[in-house]
Amino acid sequence: MKLRNKFLSALAVVALTSCSDQMDYKEFSIYDTAYMQKKFERAGGFLSTIYADLDSDFGNYSGAMLSSATDESVYSHAGNAIESFFNGAWSPTNANSSIWTTCYHGIAYCNLFLDEFTGLKFEDYKLDKNFMAEMYQYNNYQWEARFLRAYFYFLLVRQYGGVPLLTKNMEANEASVQPRATADEIYAFIDSECAAIKDSITKDYGDLGNLAMTPANNGRANNLAVLALRARAALYHASPLFNPNNDKELWRKAAELNKAVIDSCQARKMKLSTDYRGLFIGNTSWSDANAVGEIIFGRRMPTENRNFETYNFPVGISGAGAGGGGGNCPSQNLVEAYEDGDKRFGQTIACNGDSWPNANTTPLETFEGGLNGLPKAYATPTGYYLKKYVTESVQIAGNGANTCKHVWVTFRLAEFYLNYAECMLNLTGSGYEAASGFTMTPKYAIDQVRRRAGLAGIEEGLSASEFKDKYEKERFVEFAFEGHRFFDVRRWKEGDKYFKTIYGLKITKNADGTFTETKTVVQNRQWDESKMNLFPIPQSEILKSGHVLEQNPGW
């Protein structure tokens, strides 16, 4: 059939090379089933097109990360679009709706692939020496497509609640008038899809004969990615935003599924990396065995570049690092969440006096009047600069200017220890007890992550509320700048507690060379608990549906 759906009429991109460790992005035209039947790489290219719609956040708002709409950071360029989340400009007509558009684009591709391009026989290739391996890979594509579709629905439900549930290929005018399913129905769909495909999708892409991909497990979705998606979605479903009656069975199911991820990783000899910072540096996380041992799934960006470094290197730095944009500057809120001795602090945040990045020949001066401080344009308003995800060896200026790889970490093992701890805490009301049928306590699970950071285990004797606060701080620092905080605080319904007042550190250099540090308010932000836990449905989509789509409350 010819492609008529408006989502699919444009040029598709991205062909997956079968003997590479990366997604090879090429132009790829889609025609019809007969065309797809001619060559394996056409089906593979189409499937890989869908991977291009996965989420990442290397500065999606003209350099600003979603972190700068939370208490993690402040973007140093005033007037950036990220401010619409907290300055009153957010609305159905200014809906920050890229996820809606991208996810439904990906879902349409998944549905088309599943409806039209499965079950192909590739008769012309039967005598090819690689035929069996190629068919194995092709037959796995349907499970990848179902995983990707379920993942897109997770992105949508955590952001909007209930959304239209489209599970077959349809014309654009039909798709646009579908009503919203409930959030419970979307979570049930994600769970059932993951349950259906977890034992069918490949466990190891390194087991494809001479089509093997290296590194084996974190470039495309395998069954661990399916288990991880199912577990994370279950956690969200059990959380207060989606579980207002605190149904304990949702917490129990989430605990079981998150423990299953931990057990499956351990069975494969996966463990927490000893190099926390290396998890987020593309040249390392792409292939280093230590990092790959923790990363379950990540989106590999298609080309090497230095955009993220240019956005986030400090202003005023010297040498071939000159010209940094300041970028997403960690807040004092985040800084105060770290405990003394936490190795993650120095691996995430650059401070006054640090030598950062490599090309900068002078220690950072983030004090007022310093080389890297206010009142320089775009200097840090908080007293800090970002290290996490920033490759310090990159040079962004001069003859030595270079680029690097970037990988957005989607799922990693540490998440599931902390997810499990949260589920168990909500089941038992104690950080030191496991519910019936479980043996791992919340404390034990959290301590696995803390010890990697060089910290002692959580102290004994905390009340439930004290332990909850400890847990939330642990999650804050462990996942800083990974995209969790924006949605964690919303699913907890704690925006009033965390998102209203953002602090920085004013540093003054005294005549004797010492420094005076004063905690200051950098931003007072709007927060409306009645509506801001979910995004507004884009008004354009409501109009397109003839008002079949209903707006989220408060918007």
pLDDT in tens, the chain (555 residues): 333 333 333 333 322 222 333 443 333 445 566 676 667 778 888 888 899 999 999 999 999 999 999 999 999 999 999 999 999 999 999 999 999 999 999 999 999 999 998 988 888 888 888 888 888 888 999 999 999 999 999 999 999 999 999 999 999 999 999 999 999 999 999 999 999 999 999 998 776 554 544 444 457 899 999 999 999 999 999 999 999 999 999 999 999 999 999 999 999 999 999 999 999 998 888 788 899 999 999 999 989 999 999 999 999 998 766 779 999 999 999 999 999 999 999 999 999 999 999 999 899 999 999 999 999 999 999 999 999 999 999 999 888 899 999 999 999 999 999 999 999 999 999 999 999 999 999 999 999 999 999 999 999 999 999 999 999 999 999 999 999 999 999 999 999 999 999 999 999 999 999 999 999 999 999 999 999 999 999 999 999 999 999 999 999
pLDDT at res. 27: 36
pLDDT at res. 37: 62
The model's pTM? 0.93
Which residues touch 395 (CB under 8 Å, ≥6 apart)? Answer: 319, 320, 321, 358, 359, 401, 402
User: How many CB atoms neighbour CB 13 within 10 A?
Assistant: 15
Helix, strand, coil percentages in the chain from 3-state DSSP, rounded to 5? 40, 10, 50
Report yes or no: 401 and 320 within 8 Å, Cβ to Cβ.
Answer: yes
Report yes or no: 419 and 227 within 8 Å, Cβ to Cβ.
Answer: no
**Matching residue, tokens 């709007």:** 526
Fill in the DSSP letter of residue 294.
Answer: T
pLDDT at res. 25: 33
pLDDT at res. 207: 64
Fill in the DSSP letter of residue 174.
Answer: H
| CA 150-53-81 angle, 5° bins | 115
Gap between the Cα atoms of 503 and 510, Å rounded: 22
pLDDT at res. 135: 87
pLDDT at res. 76: 98
Gap between the Cα atoms of 374 and 270, Å rounded: 45
Gap between the Cα atoms of 196 and 200, Å rounded: 8
Report yes or no: 167 and 115 within 8 Å, Cβ to Cβ.
Answer: no
The two most distant CA atoms of the chain are separated, in Å, by 82
User: How many CB atoms neighbour CB 74 within 10 A?
Assistant: 30
